[in-house]
Amino acid sequence: MDLLNTLVDKGLRRELPTREEALAVLATSDDDLLDVVAAAGKVRRHWFGRRVKLNYLVNLKSGLCPEDCSYCSQRLGSTAGILKYTWLKPDDASKAAAAGLAGGAKRVCLVASGRGPTDRDVDRVSDTIKAIKDQNEGVEVCACLGLLSDGQAERLRAAGADAYNHNLNTSEETYGDITTTHTYADRVDTVQKAHAAGLSACSGLIAGMGERDEDLIDVVFSLRELDADSVPVNFLIPVEGTPLAKEWNLTPQRCLRILAMVRFVCPDVEVRIAGGREVHLRSMQPLALHLANSIFLGDYLTTEGQAGKADLDMIADAGFEVEGTDQVTLPEHRVTAGGGCGSHEGGGGCGSHEGGGACRSAPAAAPAAAPAGEPRTDLVAVRRRGAGTDLAPNA
């Protein structure tokens, strides 16, 4: 296809595709899907080889959020039966992080529900960052605490944070349909504050909320303009008790096309498969590694992911390798351009609207497959292990 050849050439040159070209990727047929994956895979391998960066989420404070984000199980008015707890102590958070690091994670993503941190909250998180870094040499830490006030990003950077995550989630035009308690501009402002403080900016999206193709293009082009070092791509986990619980709009093929489009628009940044990959990509997850160079290991914020051991087996079986702590994630031109902290790009639970921990036991037997096109509600499980519980985390 001439389209794909053009997009590969542009990706290797870091040239922005046109909106029409990006829309055409989303409009390709299932018959052309492997060609799309192969083309985007050339761009991914050019900038990132066959390395896969592992990130691990620690949910520092779960539930009881005053914001009304429709996708989130921690939102105001949510009736989802999720774990609810206040701030983890630094030592407890460090222990939770250690499980993910032992499983091969390179970055720990510290997430807390809420509109944004108070100055006291920043102190708490700073103590947690120091505890994790004191006990784990070479670890990267990303914070995801909501909207930042003036000076807070600088304080997190001084405490040792490498990155800050705050997702745009959807297009500016449709943002008010998803959230009313803050604005799209508020989110952009926080990403810019992180950048200005010398933190590596991580910002991504959630697909599957009923958006149009044009909305996906809008948000990804905005992320390119913001120059985020890392772009987490979440696929909506429709959790019962949230306004979007009935939004089952994604297929594995659709998810792969979205990831390919993101790679073409953001060729040289860390593209991370975040929440929902197990629910929507399912057995097609290995193909997604040809598009994204980063994933979360284990569980998410309030829902469970597949076993950490299964993640590692998948990476190896697909012919990829786990990125080591001695390897720099971003291409050299992004490191030297001052886009954050060099190897410290992107972000975490950060990227996901879910998060957590888990045991190293073998994965449970797979449930019977649902008929094609049926919602896979059987794949959505509320997290009951890891941070905030007495059970071992999934890593």
319: domain CATH number? Answer: 3.20.20.70
Could you tell me if residue 42 is inside a domain?
A: yes
User: Of the ranges 162-171, 211-220, 382-391, which one carries the lowest mean pLDDT score?
Assistant: 382-391
Number of domains in the chain: 1
In this prediction the pTM is 0.90
229, 163 in Cβ contact below 8 A?
Answer: yes
The model's confidence at residue 386, banded by pLDDT at 50, 70 and 90, is confident
Give the pLDDT confidence score for residue 80 in this predicted structure: 78
Note whether residue 383 is domain-resident: no
Range of the domain at 223: 2-358
Q: Is residue 161, in this structure, part of any structural domain at all?
A: yes
Q: Tokens standing for 45?
A: 């391998």
Task: Name the residue type at position 103.
Answer: G
Q: What percent of the chain has pLDDT over 70?
A: 91
| 137 Cβ contact list (under 8 Å, min separation 6) | none
Q: Which residues pair with 271 in a beta bridge?
A: 231
* Structure tokens given for 52: 């896969």
Q: How far apart are CA 300 and CA 321, in angstroms?
A: 22
371 domain residue, yes or no: no
pLDDT in tens, 94-152: 999 999 999 999 999 999 989 999 999 999 999 999 999 998 888 999 999 999 999 99
**Is 173's pLDDT higher than 50?**
yes
Specify the pLDDT at position 366: 44
Residues carrying an active site annotation: 65, 69, 72, 109, 142, 202, 272
Rg (CA), the chain: 19
Please give the pLDDT value at position 338. Answer: 54
> Which residues have CB under 8 Å from 172's CB, separation 6+?
184, 218, 222
Q: Is residue 145 part of a domain?
A: yes
pLDDT, tens digit (0-9, with 9 covering 90-100), for 283-336: 999 999 999 999 999 888 777 888 899 999 999 999 999 999 999 999 999 987
pLDDT digits (tens, 9 = 90+) for 14-27: 999 999 999 999 99
Instruction: Enter the tokens of residue 236.
Output: 């909506």
Predicted pLDDT at 364: 40
> What separation in angstroms does the CA of 182 have from each of 78, 146, 391?
17, 11, 35
Q: Mark out the alpha helices in the chain (DSSP H runs).
A: 2-13, 19-26, 33-48, 90-102, 119-135, 152-159, 175-178, 184-196, 213-226, 252-265, 277-280, 285-288, 308-317, 332-336
pLDDT over 70 (residue 360): no
User: Is the dihedral angle over the CA atoms 226, 230, 235, 236 positive or is it negative?
Assistant: negative
Judge whether 185 lies within some domain. yes
- Tens of pLDDT, residue by residue over 241-296, are 888 999 999 999 999 999 999 999 999 999 999 999 999 999 999 999 999 999 99
Domain membership flag for residue 77:
yes
- Domain presence at residue 43: yes
* Torsion on CA atoms 265, 235, 289, 379, rounded to nearest 10: -170
| pLDDT tier for residue 371 given thresholds of 50, 70 and 90 | low
Task: Specify the pLDDT at position 381.
Answer: 84
User: In this model, does residue 168 exceed pLDDT 50?
Assistant: yes
Q: Residue 366's Cα: distance from chain center in Å?
A: 25
